Amino acid sequence: MDGLERHGELVGRLGRNAMGRRACRWLLCWLCCLSQGPVMAASPHYAAAGPYRVQVALEVWHDAVRQRDIPVKRYGPEGLARVPVILFSHGLGGSREAGEAWLRHWAAHGYLGIALQHTGSDGALLQGGPMAIRRALKAAMTPEQSRARIADVQFVLDELARRQGEPGWNQADLAHIGLAGHSFGAVTTQAMAGEQLSVGAPVEEPRLAAFLALSPSARGGENLLNARFSRLQRPFFSITGSRDDGIGLQDIDAANRTLPYRHMPPGDKYLLVLEGGAHMHFAGQHTLRQQAPPRLEQAVQAASLAFWEVTLKGRIEARTWLRQSFPATLIPGDRWEFK
């Protein structure tokens, strides 16, 4: 008789009386935790579903100065008056549907999540046959589109302040805002954290307190890497995978994804490389053909939530968990570093 069969026999015996049924419920909960794998067993709070119901709303905001629409998707925790904010910037060819696996998890734990959609580098590029789509995607990877994305984030920050009296938006704590992004959205995140690609003043958006880049990169730019990333003094979390390459659109490999972390100054900097993690696993969008394995998704949810708990809520115990307990949830081949 194996372990699960022995557990099943014990559950059956306990279930025959009232006291046993209570013990049975406890045992089933315990077994459920064990069955979820190392992340769930070792980090029940950060990996588990949050206590708050998540309300979702779609809106389109208009930037009159640039004559540009910015579609947004809001994930709000029900019943909370004031919570930290996390903005999410999608990858090339994405939309405001990206990042749902991450934003919904964060919102359920008491954050206001907002997914932006960037016109010009969004899903409108995915028209025609494979070669036409490939050409459109490569043509959209320009400095102009990067600047437009940065301006989109700045506009949303302005709008959040303007909409403080509106239902749903009035729970935004504008003193505690983080920015996350995937792929091209990670490039946007790096830029707003202070990356200096070439000569000139970097962005360094002061309203943002912490940054999380899924599939970051160190492509292009005129400055040496140490100079490019030397100004990133605020908390920054880089998450990537061993198979996180450039999906054929550019000459970039998985090793490149770790370079931003390598060249940032120390101080609340984290790097997570998940074994087997491919590029689209980190998009956080369940409608995509390439889905993240449950183990990978749980690891990202748990580690990212703990990072936000430290940087946006000031919960020191989350930093202790990240540095001391989180490594025990990983598998051989995963890499975890901090400085």
Q: Position 337: which residue type?
A: E
Which pLDDT score, from 0 to 100, does residue 251 have? 67
Tell me the β-bridge partners of 122: 94
Whether residue 136 has pLDDT greater than 80: yes
Number of H helices, E strands in the chain: 12, 9
3-class SS of residue 84 = strand
Q: What's the sign of the alpha-carbon dihedral 225, 178, 60, 162?
A: negative
Q: Position 86: which residue type?
A: I
- Contacts of residue 244, Cβ cutoff 8 Å, sequence gap at least 6: 215, 254, 257, 277, 278, 279, 281, 282
23 vs 234: CA distance, rounded Å:
48
Q: What's the sign of the alpha-carbon dihedral 327, 317, 284, 265?
A: negative
Distance from the Cα of residue 322 to its chain's centroid = 16
**Residue for token pair 């588990």:** 48
Higher pLDDT, 184 or 198: 184
321 vs 54: CA distance, rounded Å:
25
Higher pLDDT, 237 or 135: 237
Read off the pLDDT band of 304 (50, 70, 90): very high
3-class SS of residue 112 = strand
- DSSP labels for 170-210? GGEEEEEEEEEEETHHHHHHHHHHT---SSS-----TT--E
Higher pLDDT, 9 or 198: 198
Which pLDDT score, from 0 to 100, does residue 324 have? 96
Q: Of 3.40.50.2300, 1.10.238.10, 3.30.1330.60, 3.40.50.1820, which CATH number belongs to 37-338?
A: 3.40.50.1820
Q: Over the stretch 268-289, which tens digit does the pLDDT of each residue have?
A: 999 999 999 999 999 999 877 7
Whether residue 173 has pLDDT greater than 90: yes
**186 in Cβ contact with 217 (< 8 Å):** yes
Query: What is the arithmetic mean of pLDDT over 160-180?
Result: 97
Number of neighbours of residue 332 by Cβ within 10 angstroms: 5
pLDDT > 90: what percent of the chain?
A: 71
297 vs 39: CA distance, rounded Å:
10
- Contacts of residue 138, Cβ cutoff 8 Å, sequence gap at least 6: 249, 250
Which pLDDT score, from 0 to 100, does residue 272 have? 99
Whether residue 222 has pLDDT greater than 70: no
Q: Which helix (H) or strand (E) holds 137?
A: helix 130-139
**54 in Cβ contact with 147 (< 8 Å):** no
Indicate the pTM of the whole model.
0.85
- Contacts of residue 174, Cβ cutoff 8 Å, sequence gap at least 6: 85, 160, 161, 164, 207
pLDDT > 70: what percent of the chain?
A: 84
Question: Which two structure tokens, joined as six digits, stand for 100?
Answer: 């749902």
Which pLDDT score, from 0 to 100, does residue 200 have? 67
Domain residue spans of the chain: 1-35, 37-338
Of the listed ranges 8-22, 31-45, 210-224, 295-309, the least confidently predicted one is: 8-22
Phi/psi of residue 23, nearest 5 degrees: -65, -35
- Contacts of residue 130, Cβ cutoff 8 Å, sequence gap at least 6: none
